[in-house]
Structure 1
């Protein structure tokens, strides 16, 4: 298990910090979407293995990412796209809480699908 004093973990964090510092808003959203999908997989694994504390930490990370994505929306100038994404992120947040309470991997699947679709749409903006 990696800990905070592990050189590999430190390298990964430094690499992530460098990518975030160099990222424009488009890249930042892409990185958040990718990170959310990865964390959803970890949350599902924790649920399957009945690691409740780790599941809680993982779901909390997912919620933080969703809230971060939502906070980047320009609801005043983003039109229907921003409003739709706002509603999708709200749905994802509620679904994540429900999945955590129910300890249901199945309840995570709609979130994974929504975020996968958003990521695909975001990739087409390049």
Structure 2
């Protein structure tokens, strides 16, 4: 099993850091959405294995990503789209906490569906 000190993980992190540094805001949102979907999948696996410490760390990463997505919204100038995304991210945050407290993988499914739809819509903006 790979750990934080594994050279492969260090390489992956360096590659991700480089991509993030070069990303424009549109690409950054796409990367965050992709990262959130990946982390939700990891959290689900930790829940299934009853690996509570790892699950907690993973859910925390998910919450940080959702917060990051929300912080990128321009609520003053973004109109109904920004407002709707803000409500959606708030829902995802609450659902992540519920899933974690209940250790319920099924509670992650609506988040995955919603974020997948947002990701698809975001990809179509290009």
Partner of 2:80: 80
Partner of 2:21: 21
Q: Which SS does the other structure have where 2:90 is aligned?
A: helix
- Report Cα offsets for 1:57-91 as digits up to 9, x if no partner: 00000000000000000000000000000000000
Q: Which segments of structure 1 move beyond 4 Å, counting only runs of 4 or more?
A: none
Shift of 1:7: 1.9
Partner of 2:8: 8
Q: Distance in 2 between matches of 1:19 and 1:60?
A: 22
Structure 1 regions of 5+ residues with no counterpart? none
Number of aligned residue pairs: 126
User: What TM-score, normalized by structure 1, do the two folds share?
Assistant: 0.97
Quickly say closer, same or farther: Cα 1:17–1:108, change in 2 above 3 A. Answer: same
User: What TM-score, normalized by structure 2, do the two folds share?
Assistant: 0.97
Find out whether 1:58 has 2:48 as its counterpart: no
Q: Which SS does the other structure have where 1:58 is aligned?
A: helix
Q: Distance in 2 between matches of 1:16 and 1:48?
A: 27
Q: Distance in 2 between matches of 1:55 and 1:5?
A: 19
